[in-house]
A = this chain, B = another copy of it.
Amino acid sequence: MSPSLDFWLEYASTYSYPAAARIGALARKADVKVRWRPFLLGPIFQAQGWNTSPFNIYATKGRYMWRDLERICGDLALPLKPAGQFPQNSLLAARVALIGFDHGWGEDFSNAVYRAEFGEGKNIAEQDVIAGLLAKLGVDAPRVLEQAQTSANKARLRSQTEEAQRLGIFGAPSFVTADGELFWGNDRLETALAWAKRT
Q: Is A128 among interface residues, defined by CB-CB distance under 8 A?
A: no
Do A168 and B48 touch across chains, with their CB atoms under 8 A apart?
A: no
Do A64 and B187 touch across chains, with their CB atoms under 8 A apart?
A: no
What CA separation (Å) do A170 and B67 show in the bound complex? Answer: 14
Q: Is A61 among interface residues, defined by CB-CB distance under 8 A?
A: yes
Q: Is A60 among interface residues, defined by CB-CB distance under 8 A?
A: yes
What CA separation (Å) do A170 and B59 show in the bound complex? Answer: 10
Residues of chain B contacted by A68 (CB below 8 angstroms): 183-184
Q: How many copies make up the complex?
A: 2
Q: Is A35 among interface residues, defined by CB-CB distance under 8 A?
A: no
Do B58 and A170 touch across chains, with their CB atoms under 8 A apart?
A: yes
Residues of chain B contacted by A67 (CB below 8 angstroms): 182
Do B170 and A61 touch across chains, with their CB atoms under 8 A apart?
A: yes
Which residues of A does B touch, CB under 8 Å? 48, 58, 60-61, 63-64, 67-68, 71, 168, 170-171, 181-185, 187-188, 191
Task: Give A60 Cβ to nearest chain B Cβ, in Å.
Answer: 5
Closest residue of B by beta carbon distance from A57: B48
Task: Give A168 Cβ to nearest chain B Cβ, in Å.
Answer: 6
Task: Give A189 Cβ to nearest chain B Cβ, in Å.
Answer: 11
Task: Give A62 Cβ to nearest chain B Cβ, in Å.
Answer: 10
**Of B48, B58, B181, B191, which one neighbours A58 at CB under 8 angstroms?**
B48
What CA separation (Å) do A181 and B64 show in the bound complex? Answer: 10
Task: Give A138 Cβ to nearest chain B Cβ, in Å.
Answer: 38
Residues of chain B contacted by A191 (CB below 8 angstroms): 71
Do B60 and A170 touch across chains, with their CB atoms under 8 A apart?
A: yes
